[in-house]
């Protein structure tokens, strides 16, 4: 059987499995190169070579860069600026929101920008008495338009640029995409402002993401927090040694022994125990002198002005679940809890503040704890407890421009300069930026690993060999011949339109990244056969891949807004058709004005 036929079989099977959606896309993407090797279409080196492509490394680095901006509160700050400037006008909010998400997308990708702004936009809509359904779809679609503002906006642009370079036309510049992105963003905003109310449904979502920006104030009001608590350690020779916990002064909230909970009333004090003392400075100093105590080291420093959180330190609410190993443990405000590095600030039972200081934990008790964000976010809070609000989401909303924000902005700006000037290859610029974020501890190594969308990495790495197989086996040539025969070889506009339709239709069913990897070799071959430049043809495919608007499953961003917007599956096509028409006009007629056939 001819290699081209085998390649068509593998391609057809991949498309069917993607559409069937019963297998993980990663499994399908990994199965493609294995199938190409097993059928002899590609060598083993060619089959696995996609994972060593610079494109894959660059895309992975961009995810780390995106995490750097998001985790340091840069996107939260941008969202707060949006709230401040939008006022009560829905039209102003719509315009500013779409501009903001488009600009963010150009730097941190579609999914990252939409995920960062969805909670804030929903909260704004509720505050203004507007339906979130009037804002969610424009948010996602503006992000797709904004992905064309710069090379870093979408992995498809990186793939397209590499394809143009491989075809002998050189890579596209970082800001070359801006020529296309500006009319797309402007057109998307115009459609949303003029036709949005008619085309978008009036829906109420089943669940609204929480507004965590004022969580610190809410917790301070709910919990009676004693900010005068001081931790003092018992030294050798202290008069307190041997005394029972019950015999200590009332100002002693509790006594904690290293590696365990609080002491019971009858337990005796030992060297190294830590007393938590409450009172004014004079009272605490007198007690420390009388009992031979000194300040105990702690991993948590109270933020200035007795605030619950700042750039370094955060808070979390923990609930004792049924059957927890912590049930029955003695706790009190001021103690370091559960062998972790968080300090208990307050305890509540049945919604009421526990006033006796010490309490034996029971199912349903709620603890307010304080610790470094790194401890709270990375699963180091006391084991066996349920976290009420994700600390990462709290920090992103409540601490705009937090720790590392300046470093992140400087590093990203440097990356943009390197990409714009072409001083180094794109992959080098991306890896330098990601490495700098990790070296400056702006993004931790575990955080960097978690930030990478491994689905995207596996998808690009696994599907890239299919593009090679289509070119090498002649499959792309046969498809290009068929397309040229269908549209005729007299008009490059018809060729471009045909490629746009092919890409757009496939992009509604499977990943736009996978679609681009399938269609790009066809586009390059068809352009060569028709005697036209591959640049406008490739950019038309790029625009079509970004125009995945007709279904919620077309892109992760479309799915992200489905729940908060209260949308149904059939709500997307009305607004999506208008957006698709805009993208088609730009791809077929506008792009050739700057990249001639």
* DSSP-assigned states of every residue in 371-401: EEHHHHHTT-SPTT-EESS-HHHHHHHHSTT
| Interatomic CA distance for residues 458 and 462, integer angstroms | 6
- CA dist., res. 449 & res. 64, Å (int): 8
* Strands across the sheet containing 274-277: 252-256, 274-277, 230-234, 293-295
Q: In the CATH scheme, what is the homologous superfamily, with its name and number, of domain 213-388? A: Regulator of K+ conductance, C-terminal domain (3.30.70.1450)
Q: What integer is the mean pLDDT of 492-508? A: 85
Instruction: Write down the pLDDT at residue 583.
Output: 95
The whole-angstrom distance between residue 553's C-alpha and the CA centroid of its chain comes to 18
Asked whether residue 148 carries a pLDDT value surpassing 70, the answer given is: yes
With vertex at residue 519, the alpha carbon angle to CA 516 and CA 525, rounded to the nearest 5 degrees, is 135
SS3 307: coil
- Who has greater pLDDT, 469 or 539? 539
Q: What is the pLDDT of residue 454?
A: 82
Average pLDDT over residues 99-106: 88
Q: What is the C-alpha to C-alpha distance for residues 105 and 112, in angstroms, rounded to an integer? A: 7
What phi, psi does 331 have (nearest 5°)? -130, 160
Give SS3 for 305.
helix
DSSP letters of 446-505?
HHHHHHS-HHHHHHHHHHHHHHHHHHHHSHHHHHHHHHHHHH-SS-HHHHHHHHHHHHHH
Confidence of residue 186 (pLDDT cuts 50, 70, 90): very high
Every domain of the chain with CATH number 3.30.70.1450 lies at 213-388
Number of helices (H), then strands (E), in the chain: 25, 11
Residues of the chain with pLDDT > 90, as a percent, come to 13
Average pLDDT, integer, range 47-72: 81
d(CA 183, CA 526): 27
Quick one: average pLDDT of 483-493? 73
The percentage of the chain sitting over the pLDDT mark of 70, rounded to a whole number, equals: 90
Provide the sign of the torsion angle of the four alpha carbons 275, 277, 281, 284, taken in this order: negative
Give dist(CA 443, CA 413) in Å, integer. Answer: 16
Of the ranges 244-248, 309-313, 469-473, which is most confident? 244-248
Instruction: Output the pLDDT for position 577.
Output: 93
pLDDT of residue 585: 95
pLDDT tens-place string over residues 68-82: 877 787 877 776 777
State residue 304's pLDDT score.
Answer: 45
Rounded to whole angstroms, the Cα distance separating 320 from 322 reads 7
* Contact (Cβ atoms closer than 8 angstroms) between residue 522 and residue 480: yes
pLDDT top residue among 264 and 44: 44
How many C-beta neighbours within 10 Å does residue 325 have?
10
Phi, psi angle pair for 345, to nearest 5°? -95, -35
Residue 508's contacts (CB-CB under 8 Å, 6 or more residues apart) are 548, 550, 551, 554
pLDDT of residue 179: 92
Q: How confident is the model at residue 356 (pLDDT cuts 50, 70, 90)?
A: low
- DSSP β-ladder status, 293-295 and 330-331: unpaired
Task: Compute the average pLDDT of residues 191-220.
Answer: 78
Distance CA 343, CA 337 (A): 6
What is the 8-class DSSP label of residue 248? S
Residue of 94, 50, 88 whose CA lies nearest to 463? 50
pLDDT at 165 > cutoff 60: yes
State the pLDDT at residue 144.
93
Distances, alpha carbon 217 to alpha carbons 84, 229, 508, in Å: 19, 20, 44
Quick one: which of 368, 375, 313, 388 has its CA closest to 340? Answer: 375
The predicted model gives 210-236 an average pLDDT of 76
Mean per-residue pLDDT over the chain, rounded: 81
Looking at residue 335, the DSSP 8-state letter turns out to be: S
- Judge residue 104's burial from the number of C-beta atoms within 10 Å of its C-beta, 0-12 exposed, 13-18 middle, 19 or more buried: buried
Q: Give the list of residues 6+ apart from residue 592 with CB closer than 8 angstroms, or none.
A: 492, 493, 496, 536
**Average pLDDT rounded to a whole number, residues 173-196:** 91
pLDDT at residue 324, rounded to an integer: 83
- pLDDT of 259 above 70: no
Per-position b or e across 247-268, b if 16+ CB within 10 A of its CB: ebeebbbbbbeeeebbbeeebe
pLDDT at 558 over 50: yes
Kind plus residue range of the DSSP H or E element containing 368: strand 366-372
Lowest average pLDDT, out of 32-41, 83-92, 261-270, 315-324, goes to 83-92
- Residue 206 reports pLDDT greater than 70: no
Q: Which of 169, 183, 144, 165 is nearest to 58 (CA)?
A: 165
DSSP designation for 173? P
Q: Which residues contact 145 (CB under 8 A, 6 or more apart)?
A: 102, 181, 184, 185, 187, 188, 546, 579
Q: Residue 305's pLDDT is what? A: 44
Largest CA distance in the chain: 100
Q: Which of 144, 174, 166, 186 is nearest to 512 (CA)?
A: 144
Q: Rounded to an integer, what distance in angstroms lies between the CA atom of residue 449 and that of residue 440?
A: 16
Q: Is the pLDDT of residue 327 over 90?
A: no
Position 383 scores a pLDDT of 66
pLDDT reading at 84 higher than 80: no
> Residue 69: which of 440, 442, 447 has the closest Cα?
442
pLDDT at 457 over 50: yes
Residue 553 scores a pLDDT above 70: no
Residue entry with tokens 């440097």? 414
3-state helix, strand, coil in the chain (%, to 5): 60, 10, 35
Q: Which helix (H) or strand (E) holds 315?
A: strand 313-319
Give the highest mean pLDDT range of 53-57, 250-254, 356-360, 583-587: 583-587
Instruction: Give the pLDDT band (50/70/90) at residue 597.
Output: confident
Mean pLDDT of 19-27: 79
CB-CB contact of 299 with 339 (8 Å): no
Q: Report whether pLDDT(500) > 50.
A: yes
β-partners of residue 233 are 274, 294
Summarize the confidence of residues 257-286 as an average pLDDT. Answer: 81
């Amino acid at each position: 059987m001819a290699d081209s036929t085998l390649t068509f079989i593998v391609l057809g099977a991949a498309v069917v499995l993607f559409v069937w959606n019963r297998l993980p896309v990663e499994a399908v993407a990994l199965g493609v190169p294995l199938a190409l090797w097993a059928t002899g279409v590609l060598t083993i080196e060619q089959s696995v070579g996609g994972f060593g492509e610079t494109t894959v490394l660059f895309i992975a680095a961009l995810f780390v860069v995106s995490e750097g901006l998001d985790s340091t509160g840069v996107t939260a700050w941008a969202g707060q600026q949006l709230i401040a400037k939008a006022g009560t006008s829905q039209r102003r909010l719509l315009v500013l929101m779409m501009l903001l998400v488009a600009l963010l997308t150009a730097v941190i990708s579609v999914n990252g920008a939409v995920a960062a702004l969805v909670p804030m936009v929903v909260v704004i809509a509720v505050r203004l008495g507007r339906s979130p359904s009037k804002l969610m779809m424009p948010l996602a679609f503006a992000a797709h338009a904004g992905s064309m503002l710069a090379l870093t906006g979408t992995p498809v642009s990186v793939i397209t640029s590499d394809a143009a370079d491989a075809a002998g036309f050189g890579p596209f510049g970082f800001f070359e995409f801006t020529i296309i992105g500006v009319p797309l963003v402007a057109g998307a905003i115009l459609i949303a402002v003029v036709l949005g109310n008619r085309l978008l449904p009036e829906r109420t979502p089943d669940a609204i993401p929480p507004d965590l920006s004022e969580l610190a104030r809410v917790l301070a009001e709910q919990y009676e927090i004693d900010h005068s608590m001081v931790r003092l350690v018992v030294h050798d020779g202290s008069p307190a040694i041997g005394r029972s916990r019950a015999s200590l002064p009332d100002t002693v909230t509790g006594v904690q022994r290293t590696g365990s909970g609080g002491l019971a009333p009858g337990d005796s004090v030992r060297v190294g125990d830590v007393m938590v003392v409450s009172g004014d400075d004079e009272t605490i100093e007198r007690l420390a002198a009388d009992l031979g105590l000194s300040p105990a080291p702690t991993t948590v420093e109270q933020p200035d002005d007795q605030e619950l959180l700042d750039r370094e330190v955060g808070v979390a609410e923990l609930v004792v679940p049924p059957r927890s190993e912590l049930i029955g443990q003695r706790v009190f405000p001021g103690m370091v809890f559960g062998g972790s590095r968080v300090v208990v600030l307050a305890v509540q039972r049945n919604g009421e503040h526990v006033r006796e200081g010490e309490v034996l934990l029971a199912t349903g008790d709620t603890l307010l704890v304080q610790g470094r964000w790194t401890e709270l976010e990375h699963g180091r809070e006391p084991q066996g407890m349920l976290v009420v609000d994700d600390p990462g989401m709290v920090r992103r909303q409540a601490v705009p421009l937090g720790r590392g924000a300046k470093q992140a902005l400087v590093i990203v700006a440097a990356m943009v300069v390197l990409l714009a000037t072409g001083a180094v290859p794109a992959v080098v610029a991306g890896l330098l930026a990601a490495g700098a974020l990790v070296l400056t501890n702006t993004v931790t190594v575990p955080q960097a690993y978690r930030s990478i969308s491994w689905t995207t990495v596996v998808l690009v790495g696994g599907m890239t060999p299919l593009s090679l197989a289509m070119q090498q086996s002649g499959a792309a040539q046969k498809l290009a011949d068929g397309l040229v025969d269908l549209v005729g070889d007299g008009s490059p506009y018809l060729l471009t339109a045909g490629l746009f339709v092919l890409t757009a239709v496939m992009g509604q069913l499977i990943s736009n990244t996978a679609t681009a990897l399938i269609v790009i070799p066809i586009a390059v071959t068809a352009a060569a056969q028709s005697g036209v430049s591959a640049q406008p043809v490739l950019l038309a495919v790029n625009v079509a891949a970004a125009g995945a608007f007709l279904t919620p499953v077309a892109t992760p961003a479309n799915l992200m807004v489905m729940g908060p917007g209260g949308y149904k599956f059939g709500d997307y096509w009305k607004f999506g058709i208008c957006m698709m028409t805009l993208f088609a006009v730009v791809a077929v007629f506008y792009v050739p004005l700057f990249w001639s056939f």
